[in-house]
Amino acid sequence: MNIGDAATASGVSAKMIRHYEETGLIPKAGRTDAGYRVYSERDVHLLRFIRQARQLGFSMKQIGDLIGLWLDQARSSRKVKQLAQTHIGELDQRIRELQAMKSTLEKLAHDCQGDNRPDCPILDALGAEHGSCGIMQEQAA
């Protein structure tokens, strides 16, 4: 199938398929005599794997590692689980950071009168020289 068909079948855009090839995440596609890319069902299956891993928030590096493990029939599931648990820890950290940002923004929004006056604690905090928003302090806690 051509790149458009592979994109439709896998749910990965043609642009991203080309990017994955350029970065070496997937092997270069075969070519017709006219130079058009040709993809097999196996290629589409790999693209679906990548799409699903991206939906779970894995980095490109992690996806490369997962592909290597997926293709290695002699792999240990311990390695796969370890990679997943590491990613869970990274997600937990991102969640904490997002919760701290949300909490700070909620406080700033609460402190803002939201009326016709020009004074605004939100803008004051964003413009403060020493990061008075408190985000970094909350993240460190």
pLDDT in tens, 3-36: 999 999 999 999 999 999 999 999 999 999 999 9
Mean pLDDT of 54-62: 96
Report whether 17 contacts 9 (CB < 8 A).
no
- Domain assignment present for 85: no
The answer to whether 35 touches 3, Cβ cutoff 8 Å, is no
Check residue 140 and give its pLDDT.
47
Instruction: Please tell me whether residues 53 and 96 are part of one structural domain.
Output: no
Residue 3 lies in a domain: yes
Q: Which residue has the higher pLDDT, 140 or 119?
A: 119
Q: What does the pLDDT average to over 51-69?
A: 96
For the cut 50, the answer to whether the pLDDT of residue 136 exceeds it is no
Q: Do the domain assignments include residue 82?
A: no
Q: What is the mean pLDDT of the chain?
A: 91
Q: Which residues form the domain of 11?
A: 1-57
Domain count, the chain: 2
Q: Mean pLDDT across the stretch 54-73?
A: 96
Q: Which of 111, 104, 134 has its CA nearest to residue 119?
A: 111
Q: What pLDDT band is residue 117 in, cutting at 50, 70 and 90? A: confident
Place of tokens 């994955």: 20
